[in-house]
Structure formats: C-alpha cells, structure tokens
C-alpha cells in the first residue's frame, strides 16, 4: 500500500505503512526499530510532512473520546480521531470544540500538528486548545506532557509537526455545547470592503472567499444562538444547529493551497495587494482567495504567536503548476511580515523561518533533546531546520 496525501501531490512509494491500534504496540514498534518514522493523520496537508522512505505509522485505531470532565470542560481523545467523529460524543457529554476549521476530515492530532484553525477574531487555533499530550518517544518511553509534567516539552509540543514522536492521545480544552446560526451572502468586494472591520468585530466568526474573475466575495458570519436547530440542515450559508453541524463544510475539489498569517491590522492591505496581483498578473487563476481571522496565542510555532492575525489563503487546481503564482503571493505575504501555515505550500528556508518565529531555535532545541538522532524527521523537516 502506498501512502499519498489528499490531493495526490505527495506520495511515499518506498515507505512501509503500518497500522497501530494500541499504545503498547506503538511503544514496541519504536523501541525495536531504528529507522526513520513518520506518523500520518488524514493526509490533508499540502506540505510534504508525512513522506519518508522509512516507516509511516497509521494510528486510525486510536480514535474516539476517551474521557471528559464537565467541570474543567476538558476531554481526552484518541490522537487519530477524525474531527467529525468528535462532535457527537462530545455533545453527549455536554461539550464542544471551541472552534473548527473549514472542514472536519482531519485527524485531531494532524490538525494540531500544523496549527489548523477556523475563523473568529477572539478564537485561537486548535493547537492552543491542547492541554495535554501522551507521547511515545524515540526510545519507546510513554510520557504525559502538560503544563505540570515534562514542562520542558510543553510549550513546543502543542504544535509539533509530527517531529517529537508518536502521539497516542490528546487532552483538549472544550467548552459547553452551543448552537450557531450562519448567514451567508454575496457582494462585490467594493461593497463589502468598508464593512469588513465591523463584521470582524461584531460577529463570533466572519470570513469571505473572494473570486478574481468577477471581483465578488461570498461572505459569511456565524454567531451563537438560542434558537432551536433547524433540520434538515440548510446549505452552507444558512445553517442553524449545534456548532459541530454548522462549522464544517464540504470542500471536495482537489487543489493545492498556500496560506500566510499576517498581523491583523495589515490584513486588508495585504489582501488588496494579492487581489491586485490576480487582477494584473495572474488573470487566468479562477480559484478564490480566503480571508479569516485568528486570535493571538502562546504556542511556540503558531502562526498567531503573540499577535492577532488575519490569515489569507490562495488556491490552485491540483493539476496546474502553481509555482509562479504562489511565489508571487509569497513575496507579498513576506512584505507584510507573514508566517506560513505549516500544513500548506511555502518556499521558506530555516533561516527565513527563524526570522519570523521568535521561538524557532527553542522549538528545535526541545525537539532535538527528545529525538537526538532525528528519527522523527523527514527531508522536508530537515530542510526547514537547515541541514
């Protein structure tokens, strides 16, 4: 069986793909072997984070809500739980994820590995919701990592890039179950522009997709409501139901994606520079640009580390060569002090990443201490590290 990612862009033809269904098996496999190991989630990263010519571990069997605590509103979940599989059991425990991304197909541990996020200016990414981790290290030991145990690992591991070891379960900060009402509409960018700051400020969630061929945006707001859920669910843009039913969308068209996080105050200016690029140099691109917001956090490699953020994503069909378009976008993002999404396309070197992430060297120091031989690295991560 050959591992490949969601878009088919990345394959690991020479890897041995193994399925692990218990923590004990994961420990034994790591302890008894010596070659490189990567762990796959749901394969939804556009960056080549998983491929290796060693072993790829698929932890799909380690899924589901393991325990939940009403008082702290925290839950331990299997690392490979697909996000869509968490909604219902958390709801039955009176809980819900604080926010979710555009889709809910990712494994929760894969999503936190790259700082996956949704939208909302007061809402942080999924990595910031992690309150504990169960880790199998390169020597086969199982550790619990949280604010009070193995504290050296703690600030680094919430956004881990699969580079610390095998994570078998995660503890997540949730909140009480809640209902949401979504409102979507279409507008020309010129009509929408003036309202964007107040739409961000006044709504729990605001985002838009802008389409270059007609200069039109599909915008939406989502807010908490006490209204009863409306079934059958309306289409995207008109739903009213529990959070786990309203937040995820269906995005089946195969594409590649680049996303950068820029300081919130620079978001609109950066978006307008990307819009001008599409209107003047890349007039054949039909895929939209997505605009979202994200609250500052304290996760070392988070794209929102210590700064309120706007995220801007550009897309291209998976069968097209996106390089020239993405390189031109990246030059703009960098001019706006952007930080790349770890799960999407970017062309930065370790030195460039170090300039953008104040905790870059600290993250590698902590990582290298727990895996000195680099067993949990692949070519992509070694390139990011710089050698």
Ligand X SMILES: Cc1cc2nc3c(=O)[nH]c(=O)nc-3n(C[C@H](O)[C@H](O)[C@H](O)COP(=O)(O)OP(=O)(O)OC[C@H]3O[C@@H](n4cnc5c(N)ncnc54)[C@H](O)[C@@H]3O)c2cc1C
Do residues 240 and 229 lie in contact, with contact meaning Cβ atoms separated by under 8 Å?
yes
Instruction: Tell me whether residue 275 is exposed, middle or buried, using C-beta atoms within 10 angstroms of its C-beta: 0 to 12, 13 to 18, 19 or more.
Output: middle
CA 338, CA 261: separation in Å to the nearest integer? Answer: 5
Minimum CB–partner distance for residue 5 and ligand X (Å): 6
* Structure tokens given for 27: 């420990």
CA 234, CA 241: separation in Å to the nearest integer? Answer: 10
Minimum CB–partner distance for residue 147 and ligand X (Å): 20
Nearer to ligand X, 159 or 274 (CB): 159
Do residues 297 and 124 lie in contact, with contact meaning Cβ atoms separated by under 8 Å?
yes
Q: What is the dihedral of CA 8, 9, 13, 18, to 10 degrees?
A: -60
Minimum CB–partner distance for residue 82 and ligand X (Å): 8
Cα angle, residue 382 at apex, residues 376 and 387 outer, rounded to 5°: 135
CA 297, CA 32: separation in Å to the nearest integer? Answer: 38
Nearest C-alpha neighbor of 124 from the set 295, 333, 280, 322: 295
Nearer to ligand X, 114 or 137 (CB): 114
Nearer to ligand X, 113 or 262 (CB): 113
Do residues 51 and 380 lie in contact, with contact meaning Cβ atoms separated by under 8 Å?
yes
Nearer to ligand X, 103 or 299 (CB): 103
CA 117, CA 124: separation in Å to the nearest integer? Answer: 7
Nearer to ligand X, 144 or 283 (CB): 144
Nearer to ligand X, 36 or 276 (CB): 36
Q: SS3 of 383, please? A: helix
Nearer to ligand X, 109 or 246 (CB): 109
CA 7, CA 253: separation in Å to the nearest integer? Answer: 9
- Cα end-to-end span (Å), the chain: 30
Residues of this chain that bind ligand X (CB under 6 A): 6, 38-45, 49-50, 59, 79-80, 101-103, 106-107, 109-111, 113-114, 116-117, 161-162, 166-167, 251, 341, 343
């Amino acid at each position: 069986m050959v591992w490949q990612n969601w878009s088919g862009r990345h394959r690991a033809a020479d890897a041995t793909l193994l399925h692990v269904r218990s923590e004990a098996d994961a420990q034994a496999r790591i302890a008894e072997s010596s070659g490189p190991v990567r762990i796959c989630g749901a394969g939804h990263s556009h960056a080549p984070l998983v491929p290796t010519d060693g072993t790829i571990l698929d932890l799909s069997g380690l899924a589901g809500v393991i325990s939940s605590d009403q008082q702290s509103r925290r839950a331990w979940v299997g690392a490979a739980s697909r996000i869509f599989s968490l909604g219902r059991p958390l709801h039955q425990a009176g809980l819900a994820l604080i926010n979710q991304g555009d889709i809910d197909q990712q494994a929760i541990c894969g999503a936190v590995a790259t700082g996956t996020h949704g939208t909302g200016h007061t809402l942080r990414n999924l990595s910031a919701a992690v309150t504990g981790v169960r880790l199998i290290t390169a020597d086969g030991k199982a550790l619990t990592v949280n604010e009070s145990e193995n504290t050296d690992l703690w600030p680094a591991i919430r956004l881990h890039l699969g580079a610390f070891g095998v994570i078998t379960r995660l503890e997540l900060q949730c909140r009480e179950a809640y209902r949401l009402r979504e409102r979507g509409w279409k507008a020309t960018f010129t009509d929408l522009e003036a309202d964007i700051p107040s739409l961000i400020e006044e709504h729990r969630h605001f985002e838009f997709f802008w389409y270059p061929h007609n200069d039109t945006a599909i915008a939406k707001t989502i807010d908490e409501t006490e209204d009863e859920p409306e079934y059958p669910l309306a289409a995207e843009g008109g739903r009213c139901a529990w959070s786990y039913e309203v937040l995820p969308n269906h995005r089946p068209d195969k594409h590649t994606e680049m996303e950068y996080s820029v300081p919130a105050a620079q978001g609109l200016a950066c978006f307008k520079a990307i819009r001008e690029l599409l209107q003047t140099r890349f007039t054949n691109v039909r895929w939209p640009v997505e605009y979202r917001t994200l609250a500052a956090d304290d996760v070392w490699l988070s794209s929102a580390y210590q700064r309120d953020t706007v995220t801007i994503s550009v897309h291209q069909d998976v069968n097209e060569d996106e390089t020239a378009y993405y390189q031109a976008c990246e030059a703009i993002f960098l001019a706006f002090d952007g930080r790349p999404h770890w799960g999407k396309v970017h062309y930065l070197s370790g030195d460039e990443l170090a300039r953008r992430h104040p905790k870059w060297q600290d993250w590698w120091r902590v990582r290298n201490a727990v895996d000195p031989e680099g067993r949990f690295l692949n070519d992509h991560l070694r390139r990011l590290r710089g050698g």
